[in-house]
Amino acid sequence: MTVLFGLELKGRPVLIVGAGTVAARRVRRFVGDGALVTVVAPEVCEDIERLAIHGDITVERRGIVPQDLDGAWFVLAATDDVALNDEIAGWAEERRVWCIDASDASKGTARQAAMSRHGETAVGVLSLGSPDPGRIRAVRDAVAAHIDAGEVDLRRRRSGEGRVVLVGSGPGDPGLMTVRGRQALAEADVVVTDRLGATELLVTLPADVEVINVGKSPDRHPVPQHEINRILVERAQAGNTVVRLKGGDPYVFGRGGEEVHACRAAGVPVEVVPGITSAISVPALADIPVTQRGVATSVHITTGHAGADPAAVESMAAGATTVFLMGVTALPRIVDAALAAGCAASLPVAIIENGSTARERVTHGTLDSIVEVASETAVKPPAIIVVGRVADPGMLAQDIAATPEPEGTP
């Protein structure tokens, strides 16, 4: 009978014998788990050499001797000599050390599972009969895809310490939410959500997940920030996994820092899952690269609800791409500030409403026309405003091949 266990190798010595391609693949796994890895081999491949240079592992360039296993918690025999691998497995058994024999799994005392991680859960698949790496990887990948698509309820069944996970859900399209973000939603007992971002994913949650809507709009703030902080802390202190679902990225004008501070001040564990910020992704989806060689080499991201601050004015005047979030209402003040700073009246401006969604709309103009155009087309938030040459709708069609690359350009 095969009994499966999970071994905690973080901070524990692991010995790898051999330094070819098989060993290199396995070494990364142990390093990722935090093990103290020593590789013993007369010659090492490039991947292992690189890990040694960066200090991730220790390499001893010589042949293996039985005493090398003393003190090890786990051994991988992965040389290109079948007889030597079998001999190492025998040394490990004499010392009661778990060992994988890469040549013949039946000769060792452990087998490597094909693993996938999903937040607080990991899935491992291994062969019970003759080793079949291709098959177990196919099973692992199928199970992982099912989990990461949000099809599995990952909530804890046993009570435990509550926690908060700040999840950036991206600009709105559920497909642009990170895998870790989807996993966190599947772990949630409570979701505290904004009105922007990938909120349509809320319909996929089990019916008994508590959803609290604290979404704000430019002229309506029904739940003040201190109350949001209180909700997060109290629900977590009650033993829940609380997901704070935010549009874009939590740390890009999402007040995520305040929420993390409130949790830590209350002793609540908190994790931050970065999201794709709308400041970069929404222009990209509208065919606007915020940087382009020969056109714009820097980008300034700012909040526009109060108009253009001095740094934003300076960036526009210097020719940088300037991206305003929450700036629709203040658009006339932004334009006035740019013109007063000496920006050309013909400088392109683009406004992207509801970026990444089925309701996306892009309005183009220039500094001297955009206010009137936005009024005529009834531009409304949420919208991203891009000011700069990259906002020219014909910019990507322009030939910049002749533009010399600055020294050091990657």
- Cα-flanking dihedrals φ and ψ of residue 33, to 5°? -85, -5
- Give the whole-angstrom CA distance, residue 268 versus residue 164: 7
- Cα-flanking dihedrals φ and ψ of residue 371, to 5°? -65, -45
Taking CA 390 as the corner, what is the angle to CA 388 and CA 394, rounded to the nearest 5 degrees?
125
Burial 15-34 (b: 16+ CB within 10 A, else e): bbbbbbebbbebbebbeebe
Q: Known catalytic residue: 101?
A: no
For residue 190, what is the enclosing H or E element?
A: strand 190-193
Taking CA 287 as the corner, what is the angle to CA 286 and CA 288, rounded to the nearest 5 degrees?
95
Of 181, 163, 164, nearest to 173 by C-alpha is: 181
- Give the whole-angstrom CA distance, residue 344 versus residue 323: 17
Reading phi first (left if > 0) and then psi (alpha if -120 to 50, else beta), residue 305 is in: alpha
For residue 314, what is the enclosing H or E element?
A: helix 310-317
Catalytic entry in 33, 216, 336, 368: 216
Q: What angle separates helix 331-340 from helix 310-317, to the nearest 10 degrees?
A: 60
Is 52 strand, coil or helix? helix
Pairing of strands 321-325, 383-387: antiparallel
Structure tokens given for 15: 């010995």
Q: Assess contact for 83 and 104: CB atoms under 8 A.
A: no
At residue 398, what is the residue type? Q
Structure tokens given for 151: 């099809």
- Give the whole-angstrom CA distance, residue 26 versus residue 114: 11
- Give the whole-angstrom CA distance, residue 363 versus residue 380: 11
- Cα-flanking dihedrals φ and ψ of residue 283, to 5°? -60, -40
- Give the whole-angstrom CA distance, residue 260 versus residue 246: 13
Q: Known catalytic residue: 336?
A: no
Catalytic entry in 189, 194, 249, 392: 194
Structure tokens given for 210: 């508590």
Active site amino acids: 194, 216
